[in-house]
């Protein structure tokens, strides 16, 4: 059913007021998914086009940013499907990858004192860009975009426990990358604490 001119103006105005202000946020999320600026540009356009066409289905008063993130992720997955690239790992694979990373880097529990010596900003941005999926999208949504675990679960289409697991592993991987960065910068080896946040406790030997 076609809108009257007045309805169309109201439709556009509300979209402009509620959806467009989140363009930076959607771009950051798209960039975290694609790790490529040109691809992120395409995904953001696709996201906003889909959002505009579906704006009548958006529930006024609900969280427009969360809604846009969900559309963005779906647009990204559709793009990947079209390109016949399977980037989403099954949870079992995720566990295997994370275990392998932890094995390769030794204890995942620390290097904290070393990290406090770093100017984290540039190194962290770089490390976040290198963080593998699906950890990167969990860290981006919760830590950068300040989404709750529940919201991130809805956006990513996974159970909340999976978000928690990916988030904690992602944070640990980031800390490991920063530790490597610090070592390359010639900072001394740190003392490792006994228990890491989110870690399963290890029995004393």
Partner 1 sequence: MSDVPKDPCAAAVGAGAVDCTIVLQQLWEYLDSELGADGMHAIRTHLALCSKCYPQYDFEKGFLEAIADCRCTTCAPNDVRCHVIEALRRAGFCPDERAGAVNQ
Q: How far is the CB of 205 from partner 1 (least distance, A)?
A: 16
Residue 63 contacts partner 1 per CB under 8 A: no
Instruction: Report the C-alpha gap between 182 and 115 in whole angstroms.
Output: 7
Residue 100 contacts partner 1 per CB under 8 A: no
Q: Which of residues 69-98 bind partner 1 (CB under 8 A)?
A: none
Q: How far is the CB of 120 from partner 1 (least distance, A)?
A: 4
- From the number of C-beta atoms within 10 Å of its C-beta (0-12, 13-18, 19+), residue 164 rates as middle
Instruction: Report the C-alpha gap between 24 and 38 in whole angstroms.
Output: 15
174 in Cβ contact with 131 (< 8 Å): yes
Instruction: Report the C-alpha gap between 38 and 8 in whole angstroms.
Output: 31
32 in Cβ contact with 140 (< 8 Å): yes
Q: How far is the CB of 86 from partner 1 (least distance, A)?
A: 27
Residue 187 contacts partner 1 per CB under 8 A: no
Residue 48 contacts partner 1 per CB under 8 A: yes
The two three-digit tokens of residue 200, written as one number? 């399963």
Residues lying near partner 1 in the complex (CB under 8 A) are found at: 8-9, 12-13, 15-17, 20-21, 23-24, 26-28, 31, 37, 40-41, 44-45, 48-49, 52-53, 112-113, 115-116, 120-121, 124-125, 128, 139, 142-146, 148-149, 164, 167-168, 171, 174-175, 193-201
């Amino acid at each position: 059913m076609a809108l009257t001119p007045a309805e169309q103006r109201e439709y556009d105005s509300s979209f402009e007021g509620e959806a467009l202000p989140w363009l930076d946020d959607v771009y950051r999320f798209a960039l975290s998914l694609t790790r490529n600026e040109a691809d992120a540009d395409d995904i953001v356009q696709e996201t906003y086009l889909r959002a505009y066409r579906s704006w009548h289905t958006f529930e006024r008063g609900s969280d427009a940013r969360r809604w846009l993130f969900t559309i963005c992720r779906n647009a990204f997955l559709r793009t990947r499907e079209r390109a016949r690239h399977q980037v989403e790992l099954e949870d079992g694979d995720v566990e295997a990858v994370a275990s392998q990373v932890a094995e390769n880097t030794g204890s995942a529990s620390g290097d904290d004192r070393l990290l406090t010596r770093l100017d984290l900003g540039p190194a962290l941005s770089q490390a976040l860009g290198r963080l593998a999926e699906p950890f990167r999208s969990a860290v981006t949504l919760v830590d950068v975009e300040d989404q709750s675990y529940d919201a991130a679960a809805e956006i990513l289409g996974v159970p909340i426990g999976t978000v928690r697991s990916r988030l904690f592993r992602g944070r640990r991987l980031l800390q490991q990358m920063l530790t490597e960065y610090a070592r390359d910068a010639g900072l001394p080896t740190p003392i490792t604490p006994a228990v890491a946040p989110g870690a399963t406790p290890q029995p004393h030997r």
